[in-house]
Structure 1
Amino acid sequence: MATDLDGRTTGSKSGELFAFPLAARTGDIDRCARELDRVHGDAAVHYWKTECRKLAAQLSALGLADEEIRREIIGFQAEVQAAMAQRYRQPSVERNRSDSGA
C-alpha cells in the first residue's frame, strides 16, 4: 500500500488506489450530485445511504478509525451539497447540456 504525506494509507493490497480525502473526489462528488438531482424521496435516501456506506467501507478497509471515517463522510456530504447548489445556480440550459454530455 502507498502512503500519503501524512502517513495515511492511500491504496489497497490489490493495487487499487483511492482518492483521499473524500472531499477531493470531484468525479464522485459530481456523479452523486447529478444522481441526487435526478432521484427523489425514498430512492434518493437509499442511493445516498448506499454511496456513503460504500465510501465508509473503503476507508475502513484502508484502516481508518471510525471517527476519521465519519469526518471524511461529513466532508464528502458537504461537497456534494455544494455541488448540488452550484447546479441550481447554473442556467437550466447549461445544466441540461452538461447532463447530456454535450
Structure 2
Amino acid sequence: MSFRESVATATVSRSVHFFPLHLRRDLVRQAAEDLDRYHGKAAADYWRSTCRGLAADLTAKGCSDDEMREQIMDFQAAVQVALLEMHREQLAQG
C-alpha cells in the first residue's frame, strides 16, 4: 500500500463527533421560547420545521441517521424540560 493510499484509508476511517444539540443551551432555550409563543397547528408546524432543519444540518455534516435521530430526540427532551422550567419561573413570579 502506498503512502497516499494509507493516508486516504486513515482519513476515511476517522469518525466525526458532533457537539450534542441538547447541550447547546442557547439553542434549547431559544427553541423553547419560540415554541412557547405558538399554539395549535402553528406550534406543531414550528416544531416540525425546527427539528427537520436540525436533522438536515446534522445529516449534511455527515452525521449517521441513527446518531441524528438520537440527537433530535435528546434535543426535543431538553426543549420540553426548558419549557417546564420557564413555566415554573413564571408561576413563581406571579
TM-score range, shorter chain: 0.7 to 0.9
**Map of 2:27 onto structure 1:** 28
Among 8, 16, 31, the alignment partner of 1:8 is: 16
- Whichever structure has more helix as a proportion of its residues is 2
Q: Deviations over 1:41-78 (max 9, x none)?
A: 00000000010011001110111111110000000000
Determine which structure has greater relative contact order: mean sequence separation of CA pairs < 8 Å that are 6+ residues apart, divided by chain length. Answer: 2
C-alpha distance in 1 between matches for 2:58 and 2:90 = 36
User: Structure 2, unaligned stretches of length 5 or more?
Assistant: 1-14
1:36 to partner: Cα distance: 1.2
Could you list the runs of 4 or more consecutive aligned residues of structure 1 that deviate by over 3 angstroms after TM superposition? 91-95
| Alignment of structure 1 residues 36-75 onto 2, 5 Å | 36-75=35-74
Aligned residues with identical type, % of pairs: 41
C-alpha distance in 2 between matches for 1:31 and 1:91 = 16
Aligned residues: 81
C-alpha distance in 1 between matches for 2:37 and 2:50 = 15
C-alpha distance in 2 between matches for 1:40 and 1:72 = 25
C-alpha distance in 1 between matches for 2:93 and 2:30 = 17
Decide which structure has the larger Cα Rg and report it: 2
